[in-house]
Copies of this chain bind each other. A is one copy, B any other.
Amino acid sequence: MNAEKNKINCAVIGARGYTGVELVKILLRHSRVELRALTTRSKETVPVRKLVPTLPEGVKLEVRPYDFESLKKNADVAFVCLAHTEAAETVKQLRKAKKIVIDLSADFRLRDEKAYPEWYGHRHPCPELLKDAVYGLSEIYREKIKKADLIANPGCYPTGAALGLWPLLKADLIDSDTLVIDAKSGVSGAGKKLNEATQFCEVNENFYAYKVNRHQHTPEIEQTLSDAAGKPLRVTFIPHLLPVTRGILTTLYAKLKSGVKDAKVRSAFEKAYDKEAFVRVMPEGEFPQLHAVRHTNYCDIGFSVDARTGRIVVVTAIDNLLKGASGQAVQNMNIRLGFPEDEGLKTW
């Protein structure tokens, strides 16, 4: 804590990737944050303006090789933007030093240790920490987040999927055995790592489904929606790669329980989200689009009840790097530290 300035000291661990860059952009305009350290796994020190060339010339921050001792002194809150499994060890170290950790990797999202080998292909490096982690889907787990010192920030797909179905399962309006989640993500969701599949000529004018029936975000979605339903459930989740830089649109399908009408559905969504700053339930006949949420922390939700088929279609849209990652991470910090929830996130 930087008492004089009434500001909290923050660090971003893994600041060179897309989520790290977005965190830098948000934290630099956050009135209650002093951004003190940016680190990278590489040995090279890089001016942050190389990574975020839209920053003013006056910003002299550098991204430096990870140095635990320096972090210990300089950070109250650490945002960890490392790759899965790499994150766990760093989180452990930071937690030992009593730092508040907001981890953007998947390493602490699943409560069930056994899910890691099944979906991520490796055993969890420090399962003993799993019980301390709070899953940071802000609107759903806010009360727990307020007290958490290890916040597992949700995946991008799970954010868009879970916010769209949660109120319907909570209010018992849909058959939990019929959930189909068809998601379409922009390319930044794949991260900044060099990859043949994300070369321009491969993505441009293309579109396809990938990791069909085996995407690692599936158990994360099921964990949250099972909480909503009050019983274990399974979903079909199919991600697709959109030729755009950012944004996820998710189309959700479910069978309505017998007799459920439009009004009941709307009232479930309103009850869930009426007081939320970052969830916007759209009026009848309107549906989300990526343009309305890009560069914002919003999750937009539209829905349509179809009497012909007895099915409901819910569409959600988020910016995968903001509400789907760095925006929600700051929202969680704001919740944890009692700052206004939208501080640093008023973009349009």
Contact = CB atoms under 8 A, between A and B. Distances in A.
Interface stretch (A1-9, A151-159, A287-295): A287-295
A19 to B, nearest CB: 13
B249 A208 contact: yes
A85 interface: no
Contacts of A55: 348
A249 B209 contact: yes
5 contacts: A18-B201, A54-B292, A56-B277, A205-B245, A212-B313
Contacts of A290: 205-208
Interface of A: 18, 25, 28-29, 52-57, 178, 180, 182, 184, 187-188, 192, 194-196, 198-210, 212-213, 234-236, 238, 240, 242-247, 249, 251, 253, 277, 280, 287-296, 298, 302, 304, 306, 308-309, 311, 313, 315, 317, 346-348
Nearest to A203: B200
A291 B188 CA distance: 15
Given A304-B212, A346-B56, A236 B253 contact: yes
B253 A296 contact: no
Nearest to A193: B199
A244 to B, nearest CB: 5
Contacts of A240: 184, 249, 251
Determine how many copies of this chain the complex contains: 4
Nearest to A282: B53
A229 to B, nearest CB: 15
B207 A242 contact: yes
A311 B202 CA distance: 30
Given A201-B245, A209-B249, 6 more contacts: A54-B296, A184-B184, A199-B200, A205-B290, A208-B315, A213-B306
A213 to B, nearest CB: 4
Contacts of A315: 208-209, 212
Contacts of A178: 178
7 nearest A-B pairs in the assembled complex, by CB-CB distance: A53-B292, A208-B289, A54-B348, A182-B182, A200-B203, A213-B306, A187-B200
Contact of A243 (B194, B200, B236, B293): B200
Contacts of A56: 277, 346, 348
A348 B203 CA distance: 19
A30 B165 CA distance: 38
Contact of A54 (B245, B287, B293): B293
Contacts of A348: 25, 28, 52, 54-56
Contact of A244 (B205, B234, B235, B246): B205
A295 B54 contact: yes
Q: Which of A212, A315, A346 has the most CB of B within 10 A?
A: A212
A249 B240 CA distance: 10
A212 to B, nearest CB: 5
A315 B29 CA distance: 30
A131 to B, nearest CB: 26
Nearest to A287: B209
Contacts of A25: 348
